[in-house]
Structure 1
Amino acid sequence: MENQSIYSRGREASVLETNKVLRNTYSLLAMTLTFSAVTAGIAMSLDLSRMMALVLSLVGFGLIFVVNKKADSASGIFWVFAFTGVLGAALGPMLNHYASMPGGSALIVQALGSTALIFFALSAYTLTTKKDFSFMGGFLMVGLIMAIIAGIANIFFQIPALSLALNAVIVLIMSGFILFDTSRIVNGGETNYIRATVSLYLNIYNLFTSLLHLLGAFGNDD
């Protein structure tokens, strides 16, 4: 009986800790997404160039390593906002490009809505079922690496059909990562809410940009 009591208390403590990580993660995720929207709006108003967007993206990539290093310290919050703010600003030129298209504003709203729908649906499914999607990790990482290599190759070849296919694949990969990363939090695989926030933020960020490219491509065909 004593062993059962100890086990029960340990399990309750684990559940409470998981719930705390979830609350902190989604709170920080909401704040960083809002901050990214603000910096994206500022970048749009400043009409930043595509070259500046590339520079900001590279800076953001570098900040990922800083955030992961500082995730266990008090300064981690500052760095996660720096990271998401820079990536938000990097979206400015792309958003201006689509906004200038006929019906472009509607495309952006549609991409945002689709991103939110996919994220909430997949997150709700994982949180409700508590299924373990850790088995997807290796497959998703291989798929992501292949997509990156194909994307780099297409910079030189400029094949529209390949670009379209890549964006569709990235939508699927990011959807898989939402299941994977949410599952890790639910099942105790990720206990640091800053790292969890960065993972989910990147999933949403890439999901949104790929959906916007797809919608923009189909919009141009009309």
Structure 2
Amino acid sequence: GTMNVFDRSINFDALFKFSHISASTQEHLKRVYGSFALCMFVAAAGAYINVVTHLFQFGLLTGLGSLGLMVWLTATPHSRETEQKRLGMLVGFAFLTGINLGPLLQMCISINPSILPTAFLGTASIFACFSLSALYARRRSYLYLGGFLLSGLTLMLLSSLINAFVRSTWLFTANLYVALMIMCGFVLFDTQLIIEKAESGDKDYIW
């Protein structure tokens, strides 16, 4: 008889089972992505407040505030006693960063309102796909990318600096696509780096 391929059931538990990653590291990854999601929503709230209410129109002050919180966060060691305080610093940094993005988002809305949802969905899709690729891949298989990615980032910054004087449309477009590929590579690299650090005992999910 013929076999109907559509009769097969999909085991979603098996789909999201990462047997090569220890249970404690999987729990750590949940916290990492949880703090990432929290920062994303807080930053969105900050940007919304800036765009809609026009409050906190102090670009320099909010910029210095976010920089100060980032420095304070990196200088505060990770421990159970400082966990809540460091999480508060991270949330504050995300909120001020969202406020700083307000004018840029307002400009995008004035040009074409569809830019924002398209950018959000595109970024979320790329992040999800490359994160899952790193999680399913063999451990340490993408860590070698670190040197190449940093070199590519340096070259991209240099070409951007040169283009500030040359003003080449072709170089600007090339930089955009190269930057996209480099950032996708960083998602792979950073995800596996988080796993390796967690496996070696570093459970700092905030920074």
Structure 2 residue 132 is matched with structure 1 residue 127 = no
What does residue range 78-157 of structure 1 map to in structure 2 within 5 Å? 78-101=88-111, 104-132=112-140, 133-155=142-164, 157=166
Larger radius of gyration: 2
Q: How many residues align?
A: 180
**Distance of 2:146 and 2:25 partners within structure 1:** 20
Shift of the 153–81 alpha-carbon distance from structure 1 to 2, 3 Å rule, reads farther
What does residue range 168-183 of structure 1 map to in structure 2 within 5 Å? 168-183=177-192
Shift of the 87–147 alpha-carbon distance from structure 1 to 2, 3 Å rule, reads farther
Partner of 1:194: 206
**Distance of 1:140 and 1:165 partners within structure 2:** 16
What does residue range 24-103 of structure 1 map to in structure 2 within 5 Å? 24-47=31-54, 52=59, 56-57=62-63, 59-70=65-76, 72=78, 73-74=82-83, 75-101=85-111
**Distance of 1:15 and 1:140 partners within structure 2:** 28
Counterpart AA for 1:143 = G
- Pick the aligned partner of 2:26 from 8, 19, 42: 19
Counterpart AA for 1:171 = L
**Distance of 1:56 and 1:81 partners within structure 2:** 14
Deviations 1:74-119 (A, max 9, x none): 3210111121112211211111111111xx1212111111101100
Q: 1:47–1:96: 8 Å Cα contact kept in structure 2?
A: no
**Distance of 1:150 and 1:143 partners within structure 2:** 10
**Structure 1 vs Structure 2 CA RMSD:** 2.8
Shift of the 120–56 alpha-carbon distance from structure 1 to 2, 3 Å rule, reads same
Q: Which runs of 5+ in 2 are unaligned?
A: 1-18
TM-score, normalisation: structure 2: 0.74
Task: Return the offset for 1:71.
Answer: 5.2
Q: 2:47–2:100: 8 Å Cα contact kept in structure 1?
A: yes
Q: Which runs of 5+ in 1 are unaligned?
A: 1-11, 196-222
Counterpart AA for 1:193 = Y
